[in-house]
Amino acid sequence: MRRSALVAATAIALVGPARAAAQTASPQRLTLAAAVERATEAAPGVQAAGFRVADARARVGEARARLLPSLSLAGTRLSRSENLAAFGLSVPGFPNFVQPFNNWDARVRLTQALFDYSGWQHLRAEGYLTAGSTADRTAAVQEAARAAALAYLRAVRASSLLGARQADAETAAQLLSLAEAQLQAGVSAPLDVTRARTQLVAAQGALLVARNQRQKADIDLALALGADPATTYALADTLTGDLGASAAPTDTAAALALALERRPDLASEAAAGERAQAERRAIAAERLPRVDLAADYGPNGLTVPSTRVTQDVAVVVSIPLIDGFRREARRDEQRAAEQQSSVRAGDLRRRIAAQIRAALLDLGSGVELHAVAAQRLTLAVEELDEARERFASGVAGNIDVINAQAGLNLARDAEIDSRFATAAARVSLAHAAGVAQTIH
């Protein structure tokens, strides 16, 4: 009876995922390359960075407006009276109070900057802001690609571990059947059956945990892709071959050269330094004269029928003198920002070099570790087969079988983890080199 209950529990643990999948929406088939592509388009961080680029371009338009013509229309109807006594005037023979009179005026006004060097420098500074925002968006794309790739790899790892736990449960069920057969044949003690049953229960518990981890990995993957967390995925890739490969070279010098050329955060920092420099020059240029053209044209008169066309054309030259040394303070502020940007850029270059070297070290050690883990797995399978044969022959109890099975479980996990570490190292190298969007 106890055997039937254990076999039924094992069947439920193994068949449960298929029934659960049948009751929910069909999983979406997804490759690593497709996951990276989706994330670079739909990830919230990428979308937000795109809006920041639009905001920066709008600020360029605002700065350009300072240099473009300004045209306006205005209309005035004035009713006015005057009292000469209000001005301290008194003219003999003339009344002090002037009766109300009307005045009608319509104007078309035009202003145009003829020379504004500071304005041009401010426009140039805003252009660097746009360049920096564009680089920030590229950095967001790179980060989204990295996050999606790692989430995909974790989901593949969880799927591999689920498969390993299913294999563990099947092996435990087979060993329980063998132990019961040996007991019935009189060549095994009841303790061997109890041990086998304990191992099967433990395998079932581990299987349930692995299934839960696989489902949670789907949630994390959906969030990385900007999708509904209820979405489930059928992963098309496995932790084999060169999963996670990209356009990043595996040579240190070549990878570092590519990173210095392609890393968007370095380009963003360079743009920030250029913007601070342009702003400092623009502030210094505010001391230069500004030349504007101002003109207006329109009818003016006491009544509408009696209006006459009048016009004004003026060239205005303005020279700023003293503003309480505010310009000097603003210039010093931008100089400090420029120096800070230079320090950050130097530190970022060193960090990029460190990331490249660390990723290559992880990749090399991951390949070596996988070779060791694969050999360990082969030996663990052989050890279990030999222990099972000894137990079936009645030479020894199943304690050796149980130990060998536990060793096989650990070897499977180590082999899966080594493949995951190698693929994750490739993703880290791609991100460090600035080509995360090419991960496949």
How would DSSP label each residue in 165-191?
HHHHHHHHHHHHHHHHHHHHTTSS-HH
| Distance from C-alpha of 364 to C-alpha of 144, rounded to nearest angstrom | 25
pLDDT mean over 54-63? 90
Looking at residue 25, what is its pLDDT? 66
Strand order through the sheet with 70-83:
70-83, 97-115, 290-301, 308-318
In whole angstroms, how far apart are CA 151 and each of 213, 216, 233? Answer: 12, 11, 12
* Residue 175: exposure state from Cβ atoms within 10 A (0-12, 13-18, ≥19): buried
Which pLDDT score is estimated for 11? Answer: 47
What predicted TM-score, i.e. pTM, was given to this entire model? 0.82
Residue 22, pLDDT above cutoff 50: no
Q: Work out the average pLDDT over 231-240.
A: 91
User: Average pLDDT in the 332-342 region?
Assistant: 92
Express each pLDDT in 189-224 by its tens digit.
Answer: 888 888 889 989 999 999 999 999 999 999 999 999
Residue range 80-94: mean pLDDT, rounded = 73
Going by pLDDT thresholds of 50, 70 and 90, the confidence category of residue 101 is confident
Residue 104 near residue 303 (C-beta atoms within 8 A):
yes
Q: Quick one: average pLDDT of 401-411?
A: 91
Residues with Cβ within 8 Å of residue 434, at least 6 apart in sequence: 142, 258, 259, 261, 262, 263, 264
Q: Ranked by mean pLDDT, which of 25-29, 122-126, 221-225 comes out on top?
A: 221-225
| Confidence bin at 411 (pLDDT 50/70/90) | very high
Within its chain, how far is the Cα of 364 from the centroid? 27
How many Å apart are CA 349 and CA 180, to the nearest integer? Answer: 66
pLDDT category of residue 100 using cuts at 50, 70 and 90: confident
3-class DSSP state of 90: coil
pLDDT digits (tens, 9 = 90+) for 63-78: 888 889 999 999 998 8
pLDDT of residue 302: 82
Query: Which position has the higher pLDDT, 243 or 185?
Result: 243
Dump pLDDT digits (tens) for 168-185: 999 999 989 988 888 888
- Percent of the chain residues past pLDDT 70, beyond the cut: 94
Q: What is the mean pLDDT of the chain?
A: 88
pLDDT band at 86 (very low <50, low <70, confident <90, very high): confident
Task: Tell me the pLDDT tens digit for each residue of 266-323.
Answer: 999 999 999 999 999 989 888 899 999 999 999 988 888 888 898 999 999 998 888 8
Domain locations in the chain? Answer: 2-69+117-283+326-438
Contact status, residue 161 vs residue 2, Cβ threshold 8 Å: no
Give the integer Cα–Cα distance in Å for 48 and 60: 19
For residue 390, the model assigns a pLDDT of 86
Q: Higher-confidence residue: 397 or 149?
A: 149
> What is the Cα–Cα distance from 102 to 306, expressed in whole angstroms?
12
Q: In the predicted model, is pLDDT for residue 88 greater than 90?
A: no
Hey, is 97 helix, strand or coil?
strand
Q: CB of 119 within 8 A of CB of 66?
A: yes
Q: Is residue 37's pLDDT more than 90?
A: yes
With tokens 């071959």, the residue in question is 241
Pair of tokens at residue 107 = 């104007």
Residue 306 has phi, psi (to 5 degrees) of -100, 10
- Over range 46-68, report the average pLDDT: 90
The rounded distance, in Å, linking the Cα atoms of 154 and 151 is 5
Backbone angles phi, psi at 248, to 5 degrees: -70, 130
pLDDT for the residue 434: 93
Domain 2-69+117-283+326-438 has CATH 3.20.20.70: no
pLDDT value at residue 201: 94
Q: Is 427 exposed, middle or buried (0-12, 13-18, 19+ CB in 10 A)?
A: buried
